[in-house]
A and B are shown apart, each in its own frame.
Chain A
Amino acid sequence: MPENAASFPKSQIERILAESAVQVLETMFFTLPAEEPVDCEPDQDIVTCIKFRGNPNGEFYQRINRRAAAELAANFLGQDPAEEVTEEQIYSVTSELANVMAGAALSCLESDSLFELDPPSSRPPEFWEVAPEAACCRVELENGRIELCLYLKQAA
C-alpha cells in the first residue's frame, strides 16, 4: 500500500527537495551549488508558486534573488552571460525552473500516484507566505540563493 507523502517526516521531504534541486540545477541549468553562503548585495526576490493535485494535494513555493535568476536564465537559454537577458526571459525561465523542481520532487514523493501541476504563478516578494508545516530547503548559489518549500495538505 503506497504511503501518502504527507505522512513522511519533514526532514525526509526537505532532503528530497534539496537533492532534486541540486540535480535540476546541475543537469539543465549547468550550475553547481556554492559550498558556503555568498555575501550578496540586497536584491529583489522573485517568488513563484505552483499548486498541485495528487495524493496529497499541496503547494510548491520557490524564492530566488533576481541576480541568480538572471544567471540561471542565461545558462538555460545558452546565452552569453554578458548578454543581457530580458525581464520576460528571466520570469519565463524562473517559472520553468519551479516547474521542473516541483515535478522532480513530487515524482519522488508521490511515485505511486498521478499528480497534476497547475501553471506556475509569479508573485511579488511580499507574498512569500508559506505554511509553518511546509518542508523547506535552501541552496546557495554563486550569485545568491534559492529557497524551496513544499506544503503537503493533510487529507480531510
Chain B
Amino acid sequence: MAYRVLIVDDSPAMRKFIRRVIEVSGFDCSQQLEASNGREALDVLSREWVDLILTDINMPVMNGEQFIRELEKDETLRQVPVLVVSTDSTLQRVQQMLSLGARGYVTKPFTPEMLRSQLERLLEENHA
C-alpha cells in the first residue's frame, strides 16, 4: 500500500531533504505534499487526505504546537498520525509535543533508517 505524506517545515531545503530521505529509505509513498507552516498545512488538509503528517515545531505564522492543537480539535484530522521532526531533543519538549497529540518524535540530525522506522511504526499503529 502506498501512502500519502504531508511535510510541514518553513525551510524549503529541509522539506526537500525529508522528501529525498523518504524516497531513499524505501518507504512506500505515493505522494508527498508540502506546507511551510501550520496554517498552510491546514489549507492543504482541507482539500487533501493524507496518511501521515511530519511537522517541524519552530515555524512562522502557525508553529508546530499550534498546528497540532488545531488538528486535535477536528474529529477527522486528529486520526492522522503526526510525527514531529525537530532540532529540539530536550525531554520537556518531547513530552510536551506527545501530550498535545503527536504520535512520534524524531530529532534532527536523523538518518534515513531512523525516519523510516518511525514512519512505519506510526502507520502500523494507526492501522492496527
Contacts and interface: CB of A to CB of B under 8 A. Distances in A.
Interface stretch (A32-40, A101-109, A134-142): A101-109
A113 B110 CA distance: 22
Given A28-B110, A103-B108, A114 B90 contact: yes
A78 interface: yes
Q: Which range holds the interface residue count of chain B?
A: 20 to 34
Contacts, number: 75
B110 A102 contact: no
Interface in A89-146: 89, 92-93, 95-96, 99-100, 102-104, 106-107, 110-117, 119
A22 to B, nearest CB: 10
Q: What's the dominant secondary structure at chain A's contact region?
A: helix
B13 A111 contact: no
Contacts of A106: 88
Contacts of B93: 114
Given A107-B90, A111-B91, A114-B92, A23 B109 contact: yes
A7 interface: no
B117 interface: no
Contacts of B108: 24, 28, 100, 103-104
B121 interface: no
Given A95-B11, A96-B11, A99-B11, A104 B90 contact: no
A117 B93 CA distance: 13
Q: Which range holds the interface residue count of chain A?
A: 20 to 34
Contacts of B20: 77-78
Given A28-B108, A76-B13, A77-B16, A116 B87 contact: no
Interface in B3-20: 10-14, 16-17, 20
Contacts of A92: 11-13
25 contacts: A23-B109, A27-B110, A27-B111, A28-B109, A28-B110, A76-B13, A76-B17, A78-B16, A78-B20, A89-B13, A93-B13, A96-B11, A96-B14, A100-B87, A103-B86, A103-B87, A106-B88, A107-B90, A111-B90, A111-B91, A112-B91, A113-B90, A114-B93, A117-B88, A119-B60
